[in-house]
Amino acid sequence: MLGYSRQPVISLRGVCFEYAHGGFSLNVGELTVASGTRAAAIGPSGSGKTTLLNLISGIERPGSGEVSTAGVRVDRLSSAGRRSFRITTIGFVFQEFLLLEYLDVLDNILYPYRLHPELRLDASVRSRARQLASDLGLAELLARRPSELSQGERQRVAIARALVTAPSLILADEPTGNLDPATKQQALDLLFEQCEARSTTLLMVTHDHGLLDQFAQIVDVEALGPAEA
């Protein structure tokens, strides 16, 4: 296993992407993030940070170029293939948490298992979900609904949900944007700790430059540059 530990989990080469109705384009000459790295993506609002995550996860597909994520050429997959890849391989954490009010905390954590038949919800998954909840300080809250939680607790549920499938990569889009400073650092510490314990690669979008010294790699989205001829 060790020999593989520094393989890139994310690799983009010569990527050109444009939204269907034009306007914004994102070009990436070359970007690699090695396995197990804690990386931050930065850039002003509208610079393409979310678009970059969407290319890496296969939500969007480039017009040209290669996108390889966790060893899979996602640019070559069909739309159904990319969806399936995304659900089974990547964990997501968003600023808005995106929890479901009709599900309790435990079922929110287990939500990815409702999305894809390849993910089998068995006893070992349930026990992993409970362990994650306990690691994230949520053990007493499993039967609550999202509206009965604080912002910090909601984000911890979202972190547990991102980790429950044991993904090789976590993509987090401004995950601390809605948290106050103390809660923010607590949520980050838990996210970092959980990623480290599992050698999970993390690519996190943040506006908060005060956090950057906690990352091993900084991806400046404005400096990604066009594909070399």
Question: Could you list the residues that contact Mg ion (CB under 5 A)?
Answer: 49-50
The reply on whether position 47 binds ligand ADP by CB under 6 A is yes
CB of 70 to ligand ADP, least distance (A): 21
Specify whether the backbone of 174 is left (phi greater than 0), alpha (psi in -120 to 50) or beta.
Answer: left
CB of 135 to Mg ion, least distance (A): 28
> What angle, rounded to 10 degrees, do the helices at 123-135 and 151-163 form?
140
CB of 206 to Mg ion, least distance (A): 11
| Cα–Cα dist 104/212, whole Å | 34
Q: Which DSSP letter does residue 3 get?
A: G
Q: Which does 7 bind (CB under 5 to 8 A by kind): Mg ion, ligand ADP, none?
A: none
Q: Which does 46 bind (CB under 5 to 8 A by kind): ligand ADP, Mg ion, none?
A: ligand ADP
The reply on whether position 209 binds ligand ADP by CB under 6 A is no
Q: Which residue is nearest to Mg ion (CB)?
A: 50
Query: Are β-strands 64-69 and 8-18 bridged in parallel, bridged antiparallel, or unpaired?
Result: antiparallel
Q: What value, to the nearest 5°, has the Cα angle with vertex 67 and ends 3 and 218?
A: 70
Q: Which does 24 bind (CB under 5 to 8 A by kind): ligand ADP, Mg ion, none?
A: ligand ADP
Q: What is the dihedral of CA 14, 20, 26, 27, to 10 degrees?
A: 20
> What angle, rounded to 10 degrees, do the helices at 181-197 and 151-163 form?
10
Q: Which does 147 bind (CB under 5 to 8 A by kind): Mg ion, ligand ADP, none?
A: none
The reply on whether position 50 binds ligand ADP by CB under 6 A is yes
Q: Give the binding site for ligand ADP (CB under 6 A).
A: 19, 21, 23-24, 43, 45-51
